[in-house]
Amino acid sequence: MDSFKILEIKESVFKGNDERAAALRSELKRDKVLLVNLMSSPGSGKTTTLVRTIEALKGELRVGILEADIDSEVDARKVAGTGARVIQLHTGGMCHLDAEMTRQGLAGLGIEGLDLVVLENIGNLICTADFDTGAAKNVMILSVPEGDDKPLKYPLMFSIVDLVLVNKMDAMSLFDFDMEAFRERVRRLNTKAEIIPISAKTGEGMGAWAEWLRAEVGNWKRA
């Protein structure tokens, strides 16, 4: 029997999304639960990174996961294997989540007793950047094989994120990825975004990512 629920979330409501997102953030602040919106293109390693992250934080932070997908339960099954609280969200063909859809997911998950909820958003670098989900922090994963030119192609995504995880560093020698050029391109769009190189496969950089999450959860609870 599956250890997670599947929730068919209702149709997105576009009008007034920013207001609903702000209200949701305020409620999560009151409940001292940090919501992180994790975005990327398909194949960047979001789910593998999440599994590694849960393992790194086990015994320290109580983590819940919202797995958003157009269809299928593949990712939720993987995450459920860690023992974390997880719910699979089916968007019915929509390529993003907004604040109301996120609220429905959180209600289905149940945030009682949690410190951190990570929303694994739909895999794309366009729609997901357009809608405020109510998250306190926006994080994206860019994998080395995707190339260092992505900030030039998807400027909105890189302009809204608080942190970029550059994944698959173990494959750096196989691809023409210029890390310094990438950093400069991100800086031109967003001077506040941090960049952490990681490899979800080998564990490289996962300690720095876990420490970033610990600090953000602590700041959220204290502020």
Work out how many domains the chain is built from and give that number: 1
The reported pLDDT for the residue numbered 1 is 56
Q: Which of 39, 41, 95, 89 is nearest to 64 (CA)?
A: 89
Distance CA 145, CA 28 (A): 36
Q: What tokens were used for 177?
A: 């990825």
Judging by beta carbons within 10 Å of its beta carbon (0-12, 13-18, 19+), is residue 219 exposed, middle or buried?
exposed
156 vs 29, 105, 122, 125, 215, CA distance in Å? Answer: 26, 25, 16, 9, 26
What would the pLDDT profile of 96-136 be if each residue is shown by its tens digit? 899 999 999 999 999 999 999 999 999 999 999 999 999 99
Q: Is the separation of the CB atoms in 189 and 159 below 8 Å?
A: yes
The reported pLDDT for the residue numbered 2 is 66
pTM, two decimals, is 0.92
Q: In this structure, what CATH number is given to the domain that contains residue 159?
A: 3.40.50.300
Chunked in runs of 10, what are the mean pLDDT values of the chain (223 residues)? Answer: 67 75 97 97 94 96 91 81 91 84 95 97 92 97 98 97 98 96 98 98 97 98 89
Q: What tokens were used for 131?
A: 């809608």
One-letter-per-residue 3-state SS of 100-160: HHHHHHHHHHCCCCCCEEEEECCCCCCHHHHCCCCCCEEEEEEEHHHCCCHHHHCHHHHHH
Distance CA 120, CA 36 (A): 9
Q: Is the separation of the CB atoms in 120 and 135 below 8 Å?
A: no
Could you list the residue range(s) of the whole structural domain that residue 145 is in?
A: 5-222
